[in-house]
Amino acid sequence: MEIVLLDEKGEPTGRGGRGEVAVRGETITSGYLDNARANEAAFVNGWFRTGDQGYLDADGYLFLTGRLKEMINRGGEKISPREIEEALLAHPEVAEAVAFAMPHPRLGEDVGAAVVLRGGRQTSPQALQRFAAQRLADFKVPRVIRIVPEIPKGPTGKPLRVGLAAALGVEAVPGARERRHISSFETEWERRLAALWRDVLGVETVARDDDFFELGGDSALATLVTARLGEQFGVTLPLAEFFERPVLAEVARRLESEQARPLPDGVVALRTAGDRPALFCHPGLTGSLRLFVDLTQHLAPEQPVYGFTLPRWSRELADGGIGGLAEARIGQIQAVQPRGPYFLVGACLGGVVALEIAQRLAARGEAVGLLAMVDTFNPAWNAGSGGLALRLRHGAGRVAFHLKALAFGGPIGRKEHLRIRAQTFLRARREEVGLLLYRAFARPDSEPPRWLRRTEYALRLAERRYQPSRYAGRVLLFASSDPRAAVYPVPLMGWQDVLCGEAVEFRFPGSHEGLLAGAHASQIARLISACLDEARCRL
């Protein structure tokens, strides 16, 4: 019998490529009886299509990665259930696991999972999600996990992934099931939260037993909800706790049972428990705090963690630049924690802001115990006389990286790589055009048109104009290994002339997105925790 892997057009992929497994030979049927439609679908150029996806290694061994019809299409991201299942099966309490597609109002499909626990063992869906988040990219972590006594199986003993969401009652589309009327809310907090969720999620009805993420929420919208709770009602809800218990009635009960201290506008609590000096986290241009939520799960339970939301565009933000934003952040930090030591971490552009905060605090005689910068390249780095050669080597390295991805990714991998690169290229060009227009209109004596008043334009322009001062404090730098545009392979991410104290760089394999999506969150958290403990002992 012969084996070949076919791409989406029915052409062989070649050795190393990933595609649909097809077979032919004397032991393979020549066709279905009196069923021309089935024959047309099942055969291509004499090959019988099995419906399995797989690849052949260098020695010719076949590896199966899943069934094509069972692939989960999450907003265009093709996810293999097998990868999800392997991550869950690594948990010591899990005996069986099956991943499946569940409906999503905006993405089309999202990831769900059902697990069977080992005899006498106990754990929660939230604990399993945190465990999976340590091994999977954020978009692959199951949004819903059901703990069941047994996995439904077909006559051959295989798990029934197709239709499993409906069988388990997992419905994410608002209105797909009978909704309770708003009068069924039992407390004032439930009514307030329902109104807030409807506004943020853009849905018409919300019931007290609804899950925020099943209604179409994501990490960015969850951050917005917790920020608005502080702005509108003066209460603090730790974002990490929201992720663990995102059901409306339970969130309302949490707010009722604890009279939380209001936080300054722009500050979001990720965890409030504990009496240690807090860790303050600044996001990048996306404003996402998901990375820091993942970090919080791996820090000591007594470690408070706070994050910042990005400010709205204003003339003060546009004129003040990085220094003005850092000064505003210092006021917010000291409203939460009046005295040091201060511990700071920032991602991408947030690392630049965190550095400026640390410099200003240190200049005022305040103790800064730690500054951590996650994939933050120095925007003011200058290679000097050897810059051209370095840029050429870096450009060649990027070309080689992309060619390798295209050569060994298989037809599906190549298509996905090209799709992501095209999206990145078009997004970057749109941003550059928008920034050029913003620079043309954003002058001290005039304001740009309303459609150009965007926080990201003001911050990008501020980043390009930023000239950092030397900093003598302790710094940890975390960097991804995949080559990126305008991020050159130089010591300390280009900060070698700025950081004159103790500075250590840690490089992680993979992409910028993988690092910031939390794929390495547990390792980063362990390194930060060790430094926090040491800094407390020093101070």
Q: pLDDT tens, position by position, for the chain (539 residues)?
A: 888 888 777 778 766 677 889 999 989 988 888 888 888 888 888 889 998 888 887 778 888 877 777 788 877 677 888 888 888 998 989 999 999 888 876 677 888 899 999 887 888 887 888 788 777 776 788 888 889 888 877 777 777 777 777 777 766 444 444 444 444 777 878 888 888 888 888 888 888 888 787 777 777 788 888 888 876 776 777 777 787 778 888 888 877 765 556 778 888 888 887 788 999 999 998 888 877 887 887 888 888 999 998 988 988 888 899 999 999 999 999 999 998 899 999 999 999 999 999 999 999 999 999 999 999 999 988 766 556 777 787 788 888 877 877 776 666 566 766 777 787 788 788 888 988 888 888 777 778 888 888 899 999 999 999 999 999 999 999 998 888 888 888 889 999 999 999 999 999 887 787 777 666 777 888 899 888 888 777 66
- In angstroms, how far is CA 131 from the centroid of its own chain? 15
11: which 2 tokens?
Answer: 């052409």
| Cα distance between residue 476 and residue 376, in whole Å | 11
Contacts of 262 (CB under 8 A, 6+ apart): 230, 234, 235, 236
CATH architecture assignment, domain 2-67: Roll (2.30)
| Cα distance between residue 51 and residue 424, in whole Å | 32
| Cα distance between residue 118 and residue 149, in whole Å | 10
**Cβ–Cβ under 8 Å, residues 507 and 490:** no
The fold for domain 181-246 equals: 1.10.1200
Per the document, the length of the chain is 539
| Cα distance between residue 52 and residue 392, in whole Å | 43
Q: What does residue 71 show for φ and ψ, rounded to 5 degrees?
A: -60, 140
The fold for domain 263-382+447-539 equals: Rossmann fold (3.40.50)
Bin 282: left if φ > 0, else alpha if -120 < ψ < 50, else beta.
Answer: beta
Tokens 């907090």 sit at which residue? 189
Q: Which amino acid is at 517?
A: A
| Cα distance between residue 193 and residue 176, in whole Å | 21
- In angstroms, how far is CA 126 from the centroid of its own chain? 17
Instruction: Indicate the burial class of 1 (C-beta count within 10 angstroms; 0-12, 13-18, 19 or more).
Output: exposed
**Which pLDDT belongs to residue 19?**
83
**Which pLDDT belongs to residue 180?**
43
| Three-class DSSP category at 301 | coil
Alpha-carbon separation of residue 81 from 112, 151, 286, 414, 519 (angstroms): 9, 15, 28, 20, 18
The fold for domain 71-167 equals: GMP Synthetase; Chain A, domain 3 (3.30.300)
The verdict on pTM exceeding 0.75 is no
**Which pLDDT belongs to residue 476?**
94
Candidates 256, 119, 137; CA nearest to 187 is 256
| Cα distance between residue 110 and residue 215, in whole Å | 11
| Cα distance between residue 329 and residue 253, in whole Å | 31
Candidates 5, 58, 108; CA nearest to 413 is 5
Q: How is the chain split into domains, by residue range?
A: 2-67, 71-167, 181-246, 263-382+447-539
Q: Which amino acid is at 167?
A: A
| Cα distance between residue 99 and residue 348, in whole Å | 33
| Cα distance between residue 52 and residue 272, in whole Å | 48
Q: Which amino acid is at 428?
A: A
